[in-house]
Structure 1
C-alpha cells in the first residue's frame, strides 16, 4: 500500500523592498500626474467650492458690499420665510417647472422617435433640431421679444390674419410665463432629443426584430419594449431639466426682467435682484441656499422613488 505525499509548497521568497531609484521614478510619475491635474482642479475648486462656502458665510451676515459685514445668524432665512415677494417667486418658479419639464421630456421623446429612422437628409434634420440649443439666451430673448410683441410681433400678426384677437403675450401677467416656457422649450427640447436619440439607437435590434416576428404592432413594440428600455433615460432627463428649470434666469432677464407685475420673477431672478440690485448680499445668498436645498431634496426624492421602481439612472 503506497502512501501519497502531499505536494511540497513552493518556497516563498521574501519580497525585496523597492530600490531608491524605483522610488524616485514612481515619485516623479506621481508628481507629473498631479502637475497635469492640479491646474484644472484649482480652477474647478476656485469656481465652485470657494463661492459656495463664501455664499454660505454671507447668508449668515448683513453686508452691502462696502460696509463691514455684520453677523446676524439665521435672520436672513427667517426673513425669507415671511417675505411674500419670495413666496411669489417660488410660485412662479413652480409654475414654470410644471409647464416646461413635462413638455420638454415629451417633445424630446417625440422628436427622437421621429428622427430615429433612415430617411433622406436625416443628418440635416438632426442638425436643425440641435441648432436652437447652442443659441445664446440673449439671442433667444431677442427672438421672443420680436415674435411675441403685442404691437408688431409675428404671433399677433398671424392672429390678425386669421381673424383672431391679438394677445398681450409678454405684457400680459397671465400669459408671460407661458411664453417664457415656450421659448425655453424651443431652445432646450434639443437636449432631450439628443439624449433620447442616443438611447433609441442603443436598443438592441434583435429585440425589435423578435417583436416584429411575434406579430407586435409598432405601438405595442414601443410600449412593451422601447419605453421600458428608455426608463433610466427618462429619469435622467427629468431630473436634469428640473434642475435647469429651477435655475431659470437668463431668458427672464433678456425678455421681461421679472415683469409684468413680477409675473415672471423666479427665485434666481429674485436673489439676483436682492444681491446685485439692492446690494443685500446676505439676503440674496440665503435665497440661493434655500434654492440649493430645494433642488437637492427634489433630486434625492426622484432618485429614491425611481430606485424603488427599478428604473434608476444613477
Structure 2
C-alpha cells in the first residue's frame, strides 16, 4: 500500500513535538518535509526543536525549512509559560544538532515546490500559526488545488479562548493568516479546535504510562513535557481556572486525523471565518452553521474522535 505523503508545518513546542513523533512512528506515512513558523517560540528555537525531535527519532534525513519569523501584521505572540522559553521545556541539550542542518530553501518556496511535485497527493498538516500557508497561497493562488487535504490544529468553536478572551493561540498569533487560509483553501479541510481537543482529553494515568516506557524517545518526552505538565497542574489548582481535566496533546489530534481517517467519528460541516476587528474577539474562529455567509468553501470542524486509536498512535510514537 502506498504511503500517505505529509507536509508538516509547525511552530515546534511540546505538543508539536508529540505530533511529529506520532507521524514519524506511523508505518503508513512518509514526511516529505517539515516547514517551521513563529509561534510557540522564536523561529530559531522552532527550527532547533524540530531538529532535536528528528535527532532523537533517528530521522535526520527529513528536510527542515525555516519560514515566517513573524505574523502578517502585528507583534509576535509566544507561549513561554506553557512550553518554556525555548519551546521544549527549557531542558539543556548540548548534543542537539545545529541550525546549519536546515535547508537553504525558504519554507514557503519549499511548500510550493513539494505541492507541485506531488500534485493532489500531499496532506498538509498545520499545527501552528498559519503564516506560511497564507504566504504560500498569496504567492500561488493555485497552491490549495495542489494539496490533497488540509488538517489544522487551531481556532475555536464556542468562543472560548486560551490566550485571549475569545482567541485560541494559533489563530490569535496571526488572525490575518488564518482568515486568508480559511477563505482561500478549497481542498478538503479538517480543523481540530481548542474545545475539541480539551473535551477529548486523555487520562493523566495514560500520560504517566506513556512517558515511562523506558526508551530513548520516552525519556526525551518525559524531560521536555515536565514544564507544561507542571504549568497545567498549577492552572488547575487555581479556583475557577481549570485548564483541562486531563492530558491534552492538542497538535496530535490533527496529526491523528491526517494519519488515520477512522480516527474522526464526528464533525460539523460548515463555512467558517475569522474575526479580525473585534476588541475582544479578534482571532476568534466563527462557525457559519446556518450558511448566512454563503461560503463556497466548507470545512469539517471535528467534534468526536476515537481516543483508543489516539492512544495507540501515541504509545507507538515513544517505543
Same-fold call, TM cutoff 0.5: no
* Larger strand fraction of residues: 2
Q: Report 1 or 2 for greater relative contact order, CA contacts < 8 Å, sequence distance ≥ 6.
A: 1
Task: Return the TM-score normalized by structure 1.
Answer: 0.22
Structure possessing the higher radius of gyration over alpha carbons: 1
* Larger helix fraction of residues: 1
